[in-house]
Amino acid sequence: MIMEQLEELRAAFAQCRALALADLASGTIYRVSAREKQPQERFDAMCAAAAEVFCRPPGDALARASGHEEARALNEVMLFRGDDLCIFLRAPWDPGEAVLCLCEAALDVDAFLEAARERLAQIAAAA
């Protein structure tokens, strides 16, 4: 069910290259949905970056800058890496998991986030 929802989300946005479901603590990539095969190292690096933001002290500093007390309050983060836009979405069914999105910079971020939030809410409701 989770991957079906993520596949549909990725397919709905031409600028979304890949989505991955990851465990932040272990750095494990559970599943990947991609238009074209991506190197595993790319997902590993994205997972490590998401873990830094969501689970470690550097994320606490970012959270404070955005008006929150600590990184646990963050649920969505966007980073630009070269020509890529990386979007990290904390999983509502398990705060130790995240959906990692690899997109082109031309992505309609507002529309994508709205659709992603809806999909994640559906997944959480079914869990």
Q: What is the DSSP letter of 127?
A: -
Contact 60, 48 (CB under 8 A): no
Contact 78, 87 (CB under 8 A): yes
Q: Is the pTM of this model over 0.85?
A: yes
Q: Is the pLDDT of residue 71 over 60?
A: no
**Full residue range of the structural domain in which residue 117 is found:** 2-126
Q: What is the mean pLDDT of residues 71-99?
A: 87
CA triple 72-66-89, angle to 5 deg: 50
Which pLDDT value is given to residue 124? 85
d(CA 17, CA 46): 14
| Domain total of the chain | 1
Which pLDDT value is given to residue 66? 74
- Looking up residue 104, the CATH number of its domain turns out to be 3.30.450.30
Residues 6 or more apart in contact with residue 77 via CB below 8 angstroms: 50, 53, 54, 62, 87, 88
pLDDT digits (tens, 9 = 90+) for 12-66: 999 999 999 999 999 999 999 999 999 999 999 999 999 988 887 766 677 677 7
Percent of the chain beyond pLDDT 70?
A: 91
